[in-house]
Structure 1
Amino acid sequence: MTVCTVLLICNLVFIWGNSLLPAEVSGQISGTLKALLDGVFTPGEAVPSGDGLLRKFAHFAEFGALGLLLGWLFGMLGKRRLPAFALGVAAACIDETIQAFIPGRSPGIRDVCIDSCGAAAGMLLLFLGHAYWKRRFTRNNFRRK
């Protein structure tokens, strides 16, 4: 098992583990995170919470990490972009399905879209990082002129 596979499994356990939490517990975790972030920013720059921007960004970031790992595992820079993205969308659908059975939680198409966009952004970040790395550190760039 590769390092990427282990990280991918850990990422999915984290995502789906959070979805298994009842709404009250999930809200408390979001409140704690908001308090930590409020301590970092100035008092006038409040961090949104609840069903607002903070929770949506957290989903986007979780699935961004998933997209990056799926892209890495599937050799994103080859010809396997679509299957990697399809697995990211499938993970988002599973995530929302889990929430349908948890007290106080409910699934949403909008959340699947946010999660899928996060996965796509992670894959795009991997692609751009690889393109930059390849251009910056190719053998030709090390020759003296």
Structure 2
Amino acid sequence: MVFTLALAGCIWFIFSNSMAVAQVSSASSGRVLTLLQGALRRLGHPALAQRLTQHVVRKMAHFCEYMLEGFLLMLCMRVYSRHPLRHITVPMLGGVLTALTDETIQLYSPGRSSQVTDVWLDSVGVLAGILAALVLMALCRLLFHHRDKE
């Protein structure tokens, strides 16, 4: 239930960002850009901070949102299925459908546009999240299986 609620919250967050008009979305990205540039400068990377652009921040945000969604989709699959690997295409399909819906929402948000490349980037993020969840599940299985033998 917790993973399902977290997944619903993640998807709501993704869709709410897509519903924002262009000016609001740009302002949000600008704030994140300023924050990241400041962090990079404090870490001793002023050249990298200078090269970081709002475009890169937006693409990283797409990837990270969908990586979280893929992670949560796979954890939900683990909760609701005894054999989550048999159904691994379900979380991938869910993520791709979210990405397609997300880009469609942007068509109707003033000043925004829809891009096929974002659907591809989002899909790669979902896949990365699924893989991260699989690694975490494998590590948990090894850890708890090892404890059960002792």
Same structural fold, with TM-score higher than 0.5 when normalized by the shorter chain: yes
1:51-90 superposed Cα distances (whole Å, 9 cap, x missing partner): x221111100000000011111112734211111101000
Is 1:55 aligned to residue 58 of structure 2?
yes
Q: Between the two proteins, what is the percent identity of the paired residues?
A: 34
1:69 aligned residue (68, 72, 75): 72
Per-residue deviation, 1:139: 2.8
How far apart, CA to CA, are the structure 2 residues paired with 1:141 and 1:83?
31
Which residue pairs with 1:82 in the alignment?
89
Q: CA contact under 8 A between 2:37 and 2:52: conserved in structure 1?
A: no
How far apart, CA to CA, are the structure 1 residues paired with 2:92 and 2:110?
30
The answer for unaligned runs of 5 or more in structure 2 is none
With the length of structure 1 as denominator, give the TM-score of the two structures: 0.89
How far apart, CA to CA, are the structure 1 residues paired with 2:52 and 2:122?
19
How far apart, CA to CA, are the structure 2 residues paired with 1:119 and 1:130?
16
With the length of structure 2 as denominator, give the TM-score of the two structures: 0.86
How far apart, CA to CA, are the structure 2 residues paired with 1:140 and 1:9?
33
Is 1:113 aligned to residue 120 of structure 2?
yes
Per-residue deviation, 1:140: 6.5
How far apart, CA to CA, are the structure 2 residues paired with 1:141 and 1:39?
47
Higher helix share: 2
Higher mean Cα deviation, 69-78 or 87-96?
69-78
What pairs with 1:1-145 in structure 2 (closer than 5 Å)? Answer: 2-42=1-41, 43-46=46-49, 48-50=52-54, 52-75=55-78, 77-139=84-146, 143=150
Per-residue deviation, 1:23: 1.1
1:71-128 superposed Cα distances (whole Å, 9 cap, x missing partner): 1111273421111110100000000000011111111110000001101110000001
